[in-house]
Chains A and B, each alone.
Chain A
């Protein structure tokens, strides 16, 4: 176990994250050339079926983004000890990049406009609209699918959330430069992975009885079955984000927070498993 842990710590997860981010942004530009938010489903079908290498670039964009998120999580875990030197403000800003990254992934998922993407968007909108007073303005800012289709989500996906992410992470990432040449194996792995695994796309099947959201939201989808959108969609996820934002060793509730996060993730993993087994 110790060997695995020390091997894990040796991996340069931060470099891996940046590399995956570069690939995600570059492939995202190629996908955006062909994507039209006015006709999302048609657009994505066209990219997959008609545009030369369209399916490949969409897959590359999808999986490099997923890898980016996973590498970021590994990076946070692996560098947690060193990160103790950060001020509270720096730590809060850096950990806030995680939910913003999730928002970018999630909006990309909605932008496909297929049956699961569209339903995920509707659920997100319903959760926000359940928030008293601030729900409507936040929805207008972030999603507004019912009134504006994919227009706002698209702008937020390619500009708004990326600017927010950049603002939160800039003081950290500006210190690092990662070149493709130093990570040829990882670069080739991501490029090749997308050749063999297509990005998901699910047309509307009339008889379908179960659709699940993106893997990181399957637990939340399960929770929405039992609790109100306010509890399952806002309060429960917020508690995790707040706990992570406060998780520094100098915090006197550090141990309690650690136990809370562990329990939260454990329960969420069980809910996710239940969701996948449906």
Chain B
């Protein structure tokens, strides 16, 4: 069954290069563009984390790795992470993420 999209509002504004981890998404903002990735690993669905030091996302179940753009860097996952639509509000008003 197709799930009804959820619209989430984030009132804080990230600094350039910042990120925000929600329960099921991670939001990135590089200053010019903001995007969000699903935290559901494309291998078998575990919840992935962003590792700031290495600037990549890693799944704790079988250590698949993804770039901050969601591309697979290391298997066993084969598919890129799902990307969510993000709207950056004007004047530091925050973000709207549609999941």
- Residues of chain A having any CB pair with chain B under 8 Å: 115, 118-119, 122-123, 125-127, 147, 204, 206-211, 221, 224-226, 229
Please report B residues at the A interface, Cβ cutoff 8 Å: 1, 3, 21, 23, 40, 43-47, 49-51, 58, 60-63, 76
CA gap between A125 and B44 in the complex, in Å: 8
Residues of A within 8 A of B3 (CB): 147
> 18 extra interchain contacts, Cβ-Cβ under 8 A, other than A119-B47, A126-B45, A207-B51?
A115-B47, A115-B60, A119-B45, A119-B60, A122-B47, A125-B45, A126-B43, A147-B1, A147-B3, A204-B23, A206-B21, A206-B49, A207-B49, A208-B60, A209-B63, A211-B61, A221-B61, A224-B62
Contact A122 B46 (CB under 8 A): yes
**Residues in B whose Cβ lies below 8 Å from that of A125:** 45
A118, A122, A127, A226 pick with most chain B CB within 10 angstroms: A122
Which residue from chain A places its CB closest to the CB of B1 in the assembled complex? A147
Contact of A225 among B23, B40, B46, B62 (CB under 8 A): B62
Nearest Cβ on chain B to A55's Cβ, whole angstroms: 25
A206 to chain B: which residues have CB within 8 Å? 21, 49-50
Evaluate contact between B76 and A225: CB separation under 8 angstroms.
yes
Residues of B within 8 A of A115 (CB): 47, 60
Chain B residues near A122: list those with CB within 8 A.
Answer: 40, 44-47
Alpha-carbon distance A126/B51, docked complex (angstroms): 25
Contact indicator B1/A210 (Cβ below 8 Å): no
Give every chain A residue within 8 A of B43 (Cβ-Cβ): 126
18 pairs of residues in contact across A and B, judged by CB atoms under 8 Å: A118-B47, A119-B45, A119-B60, A119-B61, A122-B40, A122-B44, A122-B45, A123-B44, A126-B43, A126-B45, A204-B23, A208-B60, A209-B60, A210-B63, A211-B60, A211-B61, A221-B61, A225-B76
Chain B residues with Cβ below 8 Å from A208 are 49, 60
B contact residues around A127 at 8 Å (CB): 44
Which A residues are CB-close (under 8 A) to B49? 206-209
A126 near B44: Cβ-Cβ < 8 Å? yes
Evaluate contact between A221 and B47: CB separation under 8 angstroms. no
